């Protein structure tokens, strides 16, 4: 069982995936902007990600994810999505906050909790469809009145 990559490196990896989608190529300075750190810290991170086989990296060349890196990202972004969905649609947070909080939590929340959140969302949706509780709508209403 290959040891899990650190929270910091996971975040770099996510930003790389994001930038790849947006711009194709991924540059050190864009990553530094996103991560709020110096370019030299990015270089250091890229070297470590490369050693772990998660990115294709050569000096002065734009970066891409390896197949392994893609796989890691896929799992992570699923976690992120479910978390953000839960925060927005169950706990009734605004989307922006939900996204930010999901970023903070996705590296820590266990798989069981993620799956349970998914099931909970499904449950609430079913309840809503049965027009019995309209639980999520009711919660939003409840929030307004406080």
Of these, 23, 40, 71, 97, which contacts DNA (CB under 7 A)? 40
93-132 residues in contact with a second copy (CB under 8 A) are 93, 97, 101, 104-105, 108-110, 112-113, 116-117, 119-120, 123, 126-127, 132
Name which of 71, 65, 62, 68 is nearest 17 in CA terms: 65
User: Cα–Cα–Cα angle for 125, 90, 98, nearest 5°?
Assistant: 130
Q: Residue 117: which H helix or E strand, with range?
A: helix 111-129
3-state secondary structure of 54: coil
75-94 positions binding a second copy, by CB under 8 A: 87, 90-93
- Among 115, 106, 117, 87, smallest CA distance to 10 is for 106
- Assess contact for 21 and 11: CB atoms under 8 A: no
Which of 8, 121 has the CB closer to DNA? 8
- Interface residues toward a second copy, by CB under 8 A: 87, 90-93, 97, 101, 104-105, 108-110, 112-113, 116-117, 119-120, 123, 126-127, 132-133, 135, 138-139, 142-143, 146
- Interface residues toward DNA, by CB under 7 A: 6-9, 27-30, 35-48, 57, 59-62
């Amino acid at each position: 069982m290959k040891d899990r990559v650190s929270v910091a490196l996971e975040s770099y990896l996510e930003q790389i995936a994001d930038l790849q989608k947006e711009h194709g190529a991924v540059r050190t300075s864009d990553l530094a902007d996103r991560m709020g750190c110096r370019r030299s810290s990015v270089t250091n991170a890229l070297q470590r990600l490369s050693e772990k086989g998660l990115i294709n990296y050569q000096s002065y060349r734009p970066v891409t994810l390896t197949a392994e890196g893609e796989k890691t990202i896929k799992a992570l972004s699923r976690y992120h999505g479910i978390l953000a969905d839960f925060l927005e649609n169950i706990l009734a947070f605004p989307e922006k906050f939900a996204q930010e909080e999901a970023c903070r939590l996705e590296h820590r929340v266990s798989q069981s909790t993620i799956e349970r959140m998914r099931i909970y969302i499904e449950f609430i949706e079913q309840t809503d469809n049965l027009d019995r509780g309209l639980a999520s709508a009711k919660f939003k209403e409840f929030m307004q009145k406080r």
